[in-house]
Amino acid sequence: MSSSSFTHLNDKGHARMVDVSQKDETFREARAYAQVFIGERIARLIKDQKVPKGDVFCVSRVAGILAAKKVDQIIPLCHPLPLHSVELDFDLNDQGLVEIWSTVKVHGKTGVEMEALTAVSTAALTIYDMCKAIEKGITIEKVCLEYKTGGKSGTWKRTKS
């Protein structure tokens, strides 16, 4: 495959930011997912609001939102986007599994998949940071895009396997 068929490479094979100036602005939305295994002990501490660093989900939510807003400063070839909405939701079960979902929306010329993925990843890392003094064996898994819509490629949804 020639370098010219890759959108992030110029005709000499050098990295570049894709030119989106001629693209139409459309409504774009992306939803991402991550899992964090924290264990039963930390799950109890979170539910009882007894984690020494504070409200784990509140801080993780804010961290995820801030990270989504700064993706262009973290991922080298991403465009800066004026995000309209970033939401994070958490679900914690008694066995110590935290599920995280992010939904990001914009009306723009490029999608928000990276923003949604960065939001759940940063929220998961923040959970780890807030709980690592209690347990270092926390794992982050299954970070993935669940859904995206908008733009030339239209709608895509993960099919469960």
DSSP states of 93-121: -TTSEEEEEEEEEEEESS--HHHHHHHHH
Q: Is the pLDDT of residue 66 over 80?
A: yes
Please check whether residue 39 lies inside any domain of the structure.
yes
**What is the pLDDT at residue 3?**
42
The DSSP annotation for 4-53 comes to GGSTTB-TTS-B-----TTSPPEEEEEEEEEEEE-HHHHHHHHHTT--TT
Domain hosting 71: range is: 24-150
In-domain check, residue 145: yes
pLDDT at position 147, please?
A: 97
Please state, in angstroms and rounded to a whole number, the distance separating the CA atoms of residues 89 and 15.
35
How many domains, the chain?
1
Q: What is residue 30's predicted lDDT score, i.e. its pLDDT? A: 98
Predicted confidence (pLDDT) at residue 4 exceeds the cutoff of 60: no
pLDDT class for 24, splitting at 50, 70, 90?
Answer: confident
CA distances from 84 to 81, 92, 93 (A): 9, 27, 31
The pLDDT value recorded for residue 161 is: 56
Question: Which residues are annotated as catalytic?
Answer: 129
Asked if the structure places residue 7 within a domain, the reply is no
Answer whether residue 1 shows pLDDT above 50. Answer: no
| Residue 156 domain flag | no
pLDDT of residue 23: 82
User: What pLDDT score does 2 carry?
Assistant: 42
Q: What is the CATH number of the domain that holds 29?
A: 3.30.70.640
Take residue 24 and report the two structure tokens written for it: 């139409």
Asked if the structure places residue 14 within a domain, the reply is no
**159: in domain:** no
Close Cβ partners of 21 (under 8 Å, ≥ 6 residues apart): 109
Q: For residues 79 and 110, is the Cβ–Cβ distance under 8 A?
A: yes
Is there a domain that residue 8 lies in?
A: no
Total-model pTM: 0.90
For 69-111, what is each residue's pLDDT tens digit?
999 999 988 999 999 999 999 999 989 999 999 999 999 999 9
Q: Judge whether 131 lies within some domain.
A: yes
Ordered strands of the 85-92 beta sheet: 85-92, 97-108, 26-37, 139-149, 156-157
In this prediction, residue 5 has a pLDDT band, given cuts at 50, 70 and 90, of: low
